[in-house]
Amino acid sequence: MAETKKTTRRKTTAKTAAKNPAKTVQKRTTRKTVEKKAPEKAEKSESSRKKARITTEVNRITKLFADIDENKKKLVRATIKDVAFLTVAMQDLREEMITSGLIDEYKNGPDQYGKKQSTALQSYLQCSNKLTAAMKILNDQLPKTEAKKQPDTDDFDDFVYSRSEV
């Protein structure tokens, strides 16, 4: 994947020698090999896809907060971005856990080996805790809605007492 670029350099050119005759014209060609990595399109596209997913999530959450006060919107904007990022990160970690599993085996030496939680699972649990805390902050900023009142009685008592005795 590495491309090599060859360049030719001259120490002194003919024009420089004409201006300054004290310098002798030396045509010395050196070849320098420059290693450049070819741009990895897959890596950029994966990054751009994640950014697009985060932006989509930010827009979705922002729509939920359309009815709140402008000052509160300014306060929760950063939290919305964090929630969107954590949501996308957790989706990616979930996919990684499905493919690689939840348990990693390790071996530190001849007699030290065992099993432990995978790093993807540990990261997922940390993200989950942070996401829950951020969602609580956002939920507290939503306008309060009144719960529908349940009738104290169902009309059965009225029916029974309204009947004449038979």
* pLDDT the model gives residue 127: 96
pLDDT surpasses 60 at 117:
yes
Domain assignments of the chain as residue spans, ordered by start: 42-141
For 66-75, 97-106, 126-135, which range has the lowest pLDDT when averaged over its residues?
66-75
**For the chain, what percent of residues have pLDDT higher than 70?**
66
Concatenating the DSSP letter of every residue in the chain gives: -EEEEEEEE-SS-HHHHHH-TTSPP----EEEEEEEEPP-HHHHHHHHHHHHHHHHHHHHHHHHTTTS-HHHHHHHHHHHHHHHHHHHHHHHHHHHHHHH-SEEEEESSSS-EEEEE-HHHHHHHHHHHHHHHHHHHHHHHSPP-PPPPPPSS-THHHHHHHSPP-
Predicted pLDDT at 125: 95
Q: What pLDDT is stored for residue 161 in this prediction?
A: 73
